[in-house]
Chains A and B, each alone.
Chain A
Amino acid sequence: MNRYLQKNYALFNREVKTDDKFTEGIRKLVRTPSLQYLLFGVLMCVVGFLATQKILPYSWQSAFASTFAYAIASIGFCLLMGYSGLASLGTGGFIGIGTYAVHYVMVEAKLPFFVALLAAIGVSVLIGLIVGFISLRIEGIYLVILTLALSEILKTLYAAIEPKLTLSMKDALIFGQRLPTTMSLTLVMVFLVIVMIITSNLINSPTGRAMLAMKNSTAAAQAMGISLIKYRLMSFVICTAYASITGVMLMMVMRSADATDPTGYYALITSLNILAAVIIGGYKSIWGAVFGTFIMYGIKLVIFNQIPFLANNSLIITLASGVLVIIIAMYYPGGLAQLLLEAKTKISAIIKKMKEDKYGKDLG
């Protein structure tokens, strides 16, 4: 047995119980990503329900809702950065597409929610195509700055059209029913779970492989017959579409948007936060993106606001998140997902060692 196998023996030697069909079946089911996402969604809905019943803090409802709305954009960004190797700072501007779609379709034209969603996705696909074409000519840091400029254009555009948006109670209709604020978390979770399932399937499909190939070497990918233009456009389109869904969700949850606010949805700080969330979580993992978003947005709203000292000194949290981002960027480029994997490997190695000490070496 070579040294690598010996070192990672625990990884290859997973225990599989064959005698108990039922437990094995459940294990398999739990390991299915789609089901995990679904379970997570149901769990969060239950948390939301308990929050509305005031068993858990009431503010958790909207806190989780806005956090997971941002998580949709993070997942798109994760696909763009971790799988296609492209970076963008246009997220803030793309979120705006969604909010304005809600404004024009639902408030002005009084059309149903799904029309707004479709409109947001339609416009964002167009914008994504434009950015995708630009990305064929400009790469790396230059592309980042260019998307930043594009986002700035969009922001200025929003400020010039209509700086302040509000979605009143009577306009927030879904299936002809008014959406109470207590249901917004459920709405967000439905979309988050759908997005997670779509993305995880995409990553494990030939498309995902092609994107990975493109990330590692554009020249080699092209030599293997992967169309650069197709996959670059695709990843930008998906990323912008997800960001616009985030915009729609944020509008449904928070009910207002302000283009002139320097820390608002369309500001540079949103794009940077989403990027930081993906970096913290691990840029190749969907769970990482969701968890990173929770750290950047949710942890403050959900946990720290319950502690009086920290609620009064909210800047400590800003400070702490900055320190966290720097530490992860400097020492753990794979993010928390990588950290977790390393920890898991180490723990299973320790368990293996303990077993060996107790029962002797497995010579089979």
Chain B
Amino acid sequence: MCVTAIVTLAITLIFRTSFTTNFAQGVISAFGAYVASFVITKWEFPVLIAIPVSMIVSMGVAILVDVGLFRRGRYVNALSKQIITMGLISIVTGLTPVIFGEVEQYMINSIVKDNFTIDVPGDVDISVTYNALVCVAITAVIIPLIFILLRYSKWGLSVRATASNEYIAGMMGINTHVVTAVSWGLAGALGALAAYMRASEVKVVTTYFMTDYQVSAFLAGILGGFSTFHGPVICALLIPLAENLVMAIFNILGLSELTRWSKVIIYAIALVIIFAKPQGIFGKKIEKKV
């Protein structure tokens, strides 16, 4: 849930400033996780150093993408940007084993070890790891922080201006290139953080392990409406909640074999909502001029 929220925020940032869906977000995040794993296993640094290092590397990669590719193309429009990000998937997938070696399994430690159990009335006790709590805490700090920055800081103002109209923002004296690059960097860093949080749960890093989150993030984005910053993030928090709710309902009704359908049900409901309200739950309707 926290992972989805952070990934969604990253994707929304890029969508708003670059006007494209970044399909490479997942692999760039995974690249960050590889870096973290490399730093921990090869150089034996503590986790608290590995996470910032991976975030900085991912940030670098993302900024490189924006500065090196998006600004240079002669015919760059929304669709070709999407295709460039798809090309990036292949490149990062191809490069990762070259850089980090193919054979080794990449493992990642939890941020904090140990777990405790909560007694609930019922058969199964809920086991909570401190790791998960730390992840929730990090998310609870990072996301409000970015929203406060977006709302009240000068940087936030320039991001919002660029998002609403890049051309006019440029005429008003905002360096839109810097704004876009910073957004990409921030998205890369957030991606790496999310990937580490995810990896600390599943322990093994693969190139595609963030793709599912990326897809959920896209769905959350369109469900919440990409025209706002808060909409996608709220929906990113809502979707897993709703999914767990459906699972819980099935469990209470004693239909536990139906729980594997819960994701399908939630996605279908999301589709119906989008069909009814194409601009998203929180989105503003934009009048199109012919």
Contact = CB atoms under 8 A, between A and B. Distances in A.
B79 interface: yes
| B contact residues, range | 35 or more
A268 B278 CA distance: 23
6 closest residue pairs by CB, A with B: A322-B90, A319-B94, A325-B87, A330-B73, A322-B91, A326-B87
Contacts of A146: 222, 271, 274
B87 A322 contact: yes
19 contacts: A142-B226, A144-B21, A145-B218, A148-B215, A150-B271, A152-B267, A156-B263, A157-B264, A159-B260, A269-B208, A272-B86, A322-B90, A326-B88, A326-B91, A329-B73, A329-B87, A330-B74, A330-B84, A333-B80
Interface stretch (A132-140, A177-185, A206-214): A132-140
Contact of B86 (A142, A152, A276, A333): A276
A319 B93 CA distance: 7
Contacts of B80: 329-330, 333
Given A160-B261, A325-B83, A325-B87, A138 B274 contact: yes
A337 to B, nearest CB: 15
B89 interface: yes
Interface string B176-214: 000000000000000000000000000000101001000
A150 B84 CA distance: 23
B267 A315 contact: no
B290 interface: yes
Contacts of A267: 211
Interface of B: 20-21, 23, 69, 72-76, 78-80, 82-84, 86-95, 97-98, 102, 206, 208, 211, 215, 218-219, 221-222, 226, 260-261, 263-264, 267-268, 270-271, 274-275, 278, 290
A125 interface: no
Contacts of A137: 275, 278
The secondary-structure label for the interface of chain A is helix
Contacts of A140: 78
Contacts of B95: 315, 319
Contacts of B215: 148-149, 152, 268
User: Which has the most chain A C-beta neighbours within 10 Å: B211, B222, B270, B271?
Assistant: B222
A176 interface: no
A364 interface: no
Contacts of A91: none
B21 A275 contact: no
A98 B278 CA distance: 30
Nearest to A276: B86
A276 B218 contact: no
A330 B91 contact: no
A319 B267 contact: no
B90 A318 contact: yes
A324 to B, nearest CB: 8
Interface in A307-349: 315-326, 329-331, 333
A306 interface: no
Nearest to B70: A330
Given A153-B267, A263-B208, A331-B74, A145 B219 contact: yes
Contacts of B267: 149, 152-153, 156
Contacts of A118: none
B86 A325 contact: yes
Interface in A243-270: 262-263, 267-269
A159 B78 CA distance: 33
B222 A149 contact: yes
Given A142-B278, A275-B83, A333 B75 contact: yes
Contacts of B261: 160
Contact of B89 (A141, A157, A159, A322): A322
Contacts of B268: 153
A160 B260 contact: yes
A145 B212 CA distance: 13
User: Which has the most chain A C-beta neighbours within 10 Å: B69, B218, B226?
Assistant: B218
